[in-house]
Every structure is written in structure tokens, then in C-alpha cells.
Amino acid sequence: MKNTLLIIVALLVCFKSQAQLSKGRMMLSGSVNYSNNHSSRIDTGLNATQPIDNSNSFNGILRYGYFVTNKIMVGVYGGYSHSDYNFKSVYFDGNNYINQTSNNMSNNFSGGIFSRYYQMLGKSRFALFGQLSVGYSAGKQEQKTTSQYPGGSLNTTNSHGDMSSITAAFNPGIVFFITKNIAIETTFGSMGFSTQRTKNYNAGGGYNETKNSTFNSNLGFNLSSLSWGVNFYFGGKKDKAETPGK
């Protein structure tokens, strides 16, 4: 079994790639992620909270790239993300049981430009790349909290806010070309700078604004820093295309 795996690895490394990283070629990639979480807990303690949590999150991104030379690609990307969180609880304030509900929701749009430099690894199907990107994102968030007291009286608090950010990042990675048109890639973390602004408004018309800047370096080969994706390469003049590995 061990010898068989070694033979397969050797074939993958030595097999001449049919991938075409030539001027005029294009790349298209995208990703979609969705998650849902529901939890509940019952506690008979008089002052203990008995919560029910439900959260949903969705995010998607689409990238388009164009090879301006045989190794250099420039491109654009756009994305959208949504999240909502609902919390219900019953607690005892010392005199009465209070029903409380909290709803939080946010929507965010993002877009930017990127550039990549590819370097094939000998005659294999593998290539290293480095990506530089600059992006902007903007979105809105809303929060509503309702407390119901004995006798049916309600107390409702509403707030909403705007958020935006500008980022610049460097991402190294490696790509494996399954065919000349389909490839699997992974990036090894990220290093970059971001500036963020959040503005929250309250029911009285006032607001508070928060600004912060962050530099991060999360480069590495550990599993938590890896990000996987599938890319499609197409177009270009095949008769002038460079076939890496030849």
C-alpha cells in the first residue's frame, strides 16, 4: 500500500501539465458557505437564564482573473454575506419571570481588485502563486430587543448601524491543475492591513462611532490557516499558449 501511494505521488509530480498559463487566458472561481446553529438549555434555578439560540450565516464570493502575461494575472472580485442571530430567554428578576427576545441581523457587500504571479514547479502540475489584493466592504446591522413583563406590558429597544472597511492583503498559495481547465488551490493564511469604521444609532437619534486599524500576519501551514478552492481556466489563443512543463 505504501509503495502504491509513493508511485501515485511520483506520477502527479512528474506528469507534464496541460494547464495553460498564457496571456489571454481567464480564470473564474467562486465559493458559497452556509451554516445554521440551534441550541437550548433548561435550568430550574430561580435566577438562571433559560436560553434558546438560533443563528444562520451565509457568504458567497465570485472572482474573475485575466492573464496579462504568461505568469501574471489581474482580476476583480465581489461578495455578499448575511447573518442573523435570535435569542430567547426566561429569567427571574427577583419578583417576576421576564420573557426576553433579541434579534440581530447584518448584511454586507464587498468588492475589490487583485493581482497574482504564478510560478510552475518544474514539469509538474503544481504552481506556486502570490496574490496581492485591495478591497472595500460596506454593510448594515440591526438589533431589536423585546422584554415582556407580567400583565403583558412590553419594553422594546431598537438600534441599527453602518459598517465599512478597507483592506490590503498578501496571500501565498499553491495550485494543482487537474486538467488544463480545472485546478484546486489552497492559500497559506494572509498578511495585511485593514481599517474599519462602525457607526451605531440608537432610538433617540444619537449615535456612537468606532474606528480601528489592524495589521495581521497569519501566514503558516497549519490547518487553521488553509483555505481551499476550485478554479476554472479558459479562453486564450491555444496555438500560442504556453504549456507549463514543456
Residue 245, domain member (yes or no): no
Residue 246, domain member (yes or no): no
Q: How many domains does the chain have?
A: 1
User: H or E stretch including 195?
Assistant: strand 191-201
Residue 93, C-alpha cell as written in the block: 428578576
Residue 104, domain member (yes or no): yes
Residue 76 and residue 63: Cα distance in Å, rounded? 6
Q: What's the mean per-residue pLDDT of the chain?
A: 80
Please report the pLDDT score of residue 189 as a whole number: 80
Domain CATH number, residue 49: 2.40.160.20
Residue 54 has pLDDT above 80, yes or no: yes
| Cβ–Cβ under 8 Å, residues 167 and 135 | yes
Whole-angstrom Cα Rg for the chain: 25
Residue 244, domain member (yes or no): no
Q: Which residues of 88-116 are buried (b: 16+ CB within 10 A; e: fewer)?
A: bbbbeeeeeeeebebebbbebebebebeb
Domain that holds residue 228: 2-238
Residue 3 has pLDDT above 70, yes or no: no
Please report the pLDDT score of residue 10 as a whole number: 46
116-127 pLDDT, tens per residue? 999 999 888 999
pLDDT band, very low/low/confident/very high, at 6 (cuts 50, 70, 90):
very low
Residue 243, domain member (yes or no): no
Percent of the chain clearing pLDDT 90 (strictly above): 41
pLDDT band, very low/low/confident/very high, at 216 (cuts 50, 70, 90):
confident
Residue 138, domain member (yes or no): yes
The region of weakest confidence among 7-16, 78-87, 167-176 is 7-16
Residue 190, domain member (yes or no): yes
Residue 39, domain member (yes or no): yes
DSSP tag of 16: P
Global pTM value: 0.73
Residue that is written with C-alpha cell 429597544 in the block: 157
